[in-house]
Structure 1
Amino acid sequence: MAKPRINVHITREVWKQLDEMTKRPGVSKAAIVDAALASFLSPEADDRRDAAIIKRLDRIDRRIDRVERDMTVTAETLALYIRYYLTVTPPLPEQDQRAAQALGRERFEYFIEQLAKRLASGKSLTAEVLDDVGPEQDHFASATDFATISK
């Protein structure tokens, strides 16, 4: 029984790769295309594709978990700061409130400007703080330290 025949168009790059593969003895273009289509259409290809998707989804899930944890820490930090600030800050007398509100607006505008600059620069204050307080190279053990210990 004769095999069915199809005509397809492929890119020049794929054609060159196919042509190179057929220079090997006993390998034909038809055999390569047949094997490639069989692999693509097999249920195992779906399983491999599903496994790759599941792996990516797991990675995304872990990242979302980290973001959620970071947001929780940030929200708790802000809430504790606000509670502390409201607890230790005495109320202002009536005559000082207008001046305090004007100063507050001025400080808030400055805060917004600084926030906009930081966001535009892409720098994270958290990352800067961690860099500042992080361990330096001389805080780590060297190879000679391990050699001394093992003797």
Structure 2
Amino acid sequence: MPMKKARLSVYLDKDILDGLQAYAARHNQSLSLIAEASIAAFVNPDEREAALIKRFVRLERSLLRLERDNRITGEALMVFVRFWLTTAPPLPEPAQLAANATSAERYEAFMRALGQRLAKGPAAWQEIESDSPNSGG
């Protein structure tokens, strides 16, 4: 026959009790279950630390992926700019003057297009990834 749980009476500040009740209601759990789990985490800090370490490891992996993706994006942009600068012929003088006159307008159009593209999703790199022969798509 399983051991019956022992009863414990505690006095809590009103704010703590309100927080406990709100948390229990949000998670649709009993006050006893939430209190027991909280006390267990307090009494057995190794379990709590293990959970935190696991979370930190996941966060670290995510940050490393973001860092890698950011480096790839920067490199791709630099390669593109270098390629464009070395292959695009300079504009003749009259065309340069016209281009300078409309540069602010073209920049605004570019920024609008970029904003629309970012709001639209999926990202261009996701489209490229799904089109690549190694992606299986």
Task: Indicate the larger mover: 51-60 or 103-112.
Answer: 103-112
Question: Deviation digits for residues 99-134 of structure 1, max 9, x if unmatched?
Answer: 122454443332211111122223211112222334
Does 2:2 align with 1:8? no
What is the CA–CA distance in structure 2 between the aligned matches of 1:54 and 1:85, rounded to whole Å?
Answer: 46
What is the CA–CA distance in structure 1 between the aligned matches of 2:87 and 2:73, rounded to whole Å?
Answer: 21
Question: Deviation digits for residues 51-90 of structure 1, max 9, x if unmatched?
Answer: 1111111110010000010011110010011111111122
What is the CA–CA distance in structure 2 between the aligned matches of 1:123 and 1:41, rounded to whole Å?
Answer: 44
* Structure 1 residues 46 and 96, CA gap change in structure 2 (3 angstroms): same
What is the CA–CA distance in structure 2 between the aligned matches of 1:40 and 1:72, rounded to whole Å?
Answer: 40
* Structure 1 residues 41 and 74, CA gap change in structure 2 (3 angstroms): closer
Higher Cα Rg, which structure? 1
Partner residue, 2:126: 127
Partner residue, 1:81: 80
TM (normalized to structure 1)?
A: 0.60
* Structure 1 residues 41 and 62, CA gap change in structure 2 (3 angstroms): closer
What is the CA–CA distance in structure 1 between the aligned matches of 2:119 and 2:93, rounded to whole Å?
Answer: 39
Gaps of 5+ in 1: 18-32, 137-151
What is the CA–CA distance in structure 2 between the aligned matches of 1:41 and 1:60, rounded to whole Å?
Answer: 24
What is the CA–CA distance in structure 2 between the aligned matches of 1:54 and 1:40, rounded to whole Å?
Answer: 14
Structure 1 residue ranges, 4+ long, deviating more than 6 angstroms after superposition: none
What is the CA–CA distance in structure 2 between the aligned matches of 1:49 and 1:107, rounded to whole Å?
Answer: 55
What is the CA–CA distance in structure 2 between the aligned matches of 1:104 and 1:8, rounded to whole Å?
Answer: 70
Alpha-carbon RMSD across the aligned residues, in angstroms, is 2.9
Name the SS for the 2:136 alignment partner. coil
What is the CA–CA distance in structure 2 between the aligned matches of 1:82 and 1:64, rounded to whole Å?
Answer: 27
Structure 2 counterparts to residues 87-102 of structure 1, below 5 A: 87-102=86-101
Q: Sequence identity of aligned pairs in percent?
A: 35
Structure 2 counterparts to residues 1-151 of structure 1, below 5 A: 6-8=9-11, 11=21, 13-14=30-31, 37=39, 39-42=40-43, 45-133=44-132, 134-136=135-137
TM (normalized to structure 2)?
A: 0.65
Count of residues in correspondence between the two structures: 112
Gaps of 5+ in 2: 1-7, 25-29
